Chains A and B, each alone.
Chain A
């Protein structure tokens, strides 16, 4: 059974700090790894990483994929209070099934 483990489960930082969120996985027939941000209800898409795209960057957010060690990290630099959310990692494996981790709750204090 596909498995995604995120760490830490929660994190409290001050504005301006840099944070690193971790995601490790065990999946059959890895296709892609996705990061989402969930603030209220609907998770919103951040990045997709695949064998052909192991690094992504958008503004203060960046992510890398290590297919050999089976993990990914999401970095957020110069954090802002608006970054407070649950960050979800998901892996697409066999039969295109998306399996999610439990998420990391990030709280950014002013």
Chain B
């Protein structure tokens, strides 16, 4: 059973550019959540998609957006990049149901210069 796949693994962008990250969940999982991780801040919740609908949203500016496709793959977009957006972006997939664990991908390391 394939795990959660995130692409690309590493990315270097310039301030002001935009970036799109991709996450393919475990087959059969319909929930995909995105997190930003920076040193000392833990995993900060960005948003969650379930069956192509945004089910939850964190407290990030509108420059951060996402979507989910019918095959449950999800993309996250960040526009007008800032230096502070440099972070590890993790996505997690879950099966349907409340009491299920989330499985994480290896993350995308974004560096904004």
- Does chain B have a CB within 8 A of A72? no
Contacts of A99 in B (CB 8 A): 45
Considering the chains assembled together, what is the distance between the CA atoms of A45 and B100 in angstroms?
A: 11
- Does chain B have a CB within 8 A of A25? no
Cβ contact within 8 Å between B43 and A100: yes
Interface size on B, residues (CB 8 A): 27
From known contacts A92-B98, A96-B98, infer whether A102 and B42 are also in contact, taking CB-CB under 8 Å.
yes
A-B contact count (CB 8 A): 63
DSSP majority for the A interface? strand
Cβ contact within 8 Å between A102 and B41: yes
Cβ contact within 8 Å between B99 and A41: no
Return the CB mask of A86-110 against B: 1 if under 8 Å, else 0: 0010101001111111110000000
Residue ranges of B at the interface with A (Cβ–Cβ < 8 Å):
4, 31, 33, 35, 40-45, 48, 50, 55-56, 88, 90, 92, 94, 98-99, 101-107
Residue ranges of A at the interface with B (Cβ–Cβ < 8 Å):
31-32, 34, 36, 41-45, 48, 50, 88, 90, 92, 95-103
